[in-house]
Structure 1
Amino acid sequence: MRKKTTQNKATNKPSDGFIRVISGQFRGRKLPVKNVEGLRPTTDRIKETVFNWLMQDTRDTNVLDCFAGSGGLGFEALSRFAKNATFIELDSSAAKQLEQNISTLKLDNAYVKHTNSLSFLEQKNTNEAFNLVFVDPPFRKDLAQTTCDLLEKNQWLSDDALIYVEVETELTTFKNPSNWLLIKEKKAGQVFCKLYQRQAN
């Protein structure tokens, strides 16, 4: 599900691209995306599926986009009137582009954390918990399992939080926390899309 890129003939390297917001107040807006190794902007087809699942559950949520990359999922949630969104992104050029896109959309409720997602989540959360979390890490790096375990362990989630997880289809070892109920699942090409709802202990 890697994004299509064009080649820059002078350098023979992939050129930067863009994502498109598919619905909500920013519908149709195109936002630039840096070409970063491992970055897989979520396709419009998958975004449409995910936000159909979340149709009644996005407005007024506190959103966490754990491996933000292009920010496609977080910006889509903000377009659909999420209360706020926090984007975590390790790559400096991608993080800077997220900040520029936030400025372009004139958002005062979106925040970029330029850091390692696991390091961020290893801290105990002492602020308001998140209602909606996106976990779409680079593939084949065994990041999804640790991320979900840390979200649960360190109090990042509200009692009934929704967690969207996207993993490669060949990953057979992923196991959700025992109090996460799988409510939606779909295979799309080389990825599994899974939506969980947390059950308070």
Structure 2
Amino acid sequence: MNTKKINPKHSNQVRIIGGELRGRKIQFPSVESLRPTPDYVRERLFNWLGQDLTGRTVLDLFAGSGALGFESASRYAKQVLMCETNRLVAGCLKEHAQIFKVQERVQICQQDGLQFLAQTTQIFDLVMLDPPFVWQDWAKLFPLLKDKLSPEAQLYIEAGALPELPDWLVVLKQGKAGQSMQVLAQISSEE
């Protein structure tokens, strides 16, 4: 039996691994189904993306801990919008945006991701989709998302089981880590 104890000082926090905020820590509350993307998975993702997101508008639709959104801001994204349904978690994200002094570039929206997509007119260059493992509304999400993407937009998906992708997306990279699978896709040039 593994009896390794986790130091409470190190639980419920993740470290930003690259860019201008590298080494800064994000603390988040204990909330069911909130599982931050591990360091090595984020490292892989930003290697896939090329590290520098200068000029890109990013949507982190299921923000949770904020690890993906703050990593994007740390790597010079022009704007990062994070959606989070949980009031306590969204409040924590807003606090960290102020602490990190990125509130001009990072917007926190306490709203359901599908509702947000149905209402927004904003266009995104990169969309991070890392919903809770039990979430399965992919068939509703993709039609709402399609018109919110720039012509060369990329989508990162992290899930327990990857959804069937619509034919307007082409897979660029795939990976697996622990119980999650990851895919980086882009709008097909034939669209």
Q: TM-score under structure 2 normalisation?
A: 0.89
Matches within 5 A, 1:44-193: 44-55=39-50, 58-107=53-102, 108-123=104-119, 125-127=120-122, 129-152=123-146, 155-168=147-160, 171=161, 174-193=163-182
Whichever structure has more helix as a proportion of its residues is: 2
Distance (Å, rounded) in 2 between the aligned partners of 1:16 and 1:91: 19
Deviation for aligned residue 1:57: 5.8
What is the identity percentage for the equivalent residue pairs of Structure 1 and Structure 2? 37
What stretches of structure 2 of length at least 5 have no aligned partner?
Answer: none
Distance (Å, rounded) in 2 between the aligned partners of 1:111 and 1:139: 25
Q: TM-score under structure 1 normalisation?
A: 0.85
* Number of residue pairs aligned between Structure 1 and Structure 2: 184
Distance (Å, rounded) in 2 between the aligned partners of 1:175 and 1:39: 23
Deviation for aligned residue 1:19: 1.2
Contact 2:52/2:75, CA 8 A, preserved across alignment: no
Distance 1:96 1:52, change over 3 A: same
Deviation for aligned residue 1:6: 5.1
- In structure 2, the partner of 1:199 is 188
Structure 1 stretches of 4+ moved >3 Å:
5-8
What stretches of structure 1 of length at least 5 have no aligned partner?
Answer: 9-14
Distance (Å, rounded) in 1 between the aligned partners of 2:92 and 2:105: 16
